[in-house]
Amino acid sequence: MSDARTPAQIEADIVRRREQLAEMLDEIGVRMHPKTVIGDAKARIASTVDQTAGRAYVAVNRTVSDVRAQFVKEDGAPRLERVLPVAVVAVGLVGLLAFSMKRRRA
């Protein structure tokens, strides 16, 4: 058996390889074009922001749920033993703030 190729086969291989090389160069040109590079960077940044915002949302939601569980029973009724002290402290702080502002103006 002979592995010898005909000139037509060699020429066909050369044409095919030229076409493959041209496609690769076109693809590299598109990938390296400034608009493509900027678009890819924008997409990566948007993805990162979306992931970060999603993680932040989950963390905040978990924290709110944990705090809510401290002040509300599973049936939805308030836990008065925890709500009342917080309400008294909040009213006291607001009163001190109002008193302090009134005193500064006088």
DSSP string, 30-94: HHHSHHHHHHHHHHHHHHHHHHHHHHHHHHHHHHHHHHHHHHB-TTS-B-HHHHHHHHHHHHHHH
The rounded percent of the chain whose pLDDT value lies above 90 is 78
Q: What average pLDDT does the segment 16-31 reach?
A: 94
CA distance 40 to 31: 9
Residues in CB range of 36: below 8 A, 6 or more apart = 30
Cα Rg of the chain (Å, integer): 35
For 17, the token pair is 């390889």
The rounded percent of the chain whose pLDDT value lies above 70 is 97
Closest-CA residue to 41 (of 54, 33, 25, 29) = 33
pLDDT digits (tens, 9 = 90+) for 33-61: 999 999 999 999 999 999 999 999 999 99
pLDDT digits (tens, 9 = 90+) for 64-96: 999 999 999 989 899 999 999 999 999 999 999
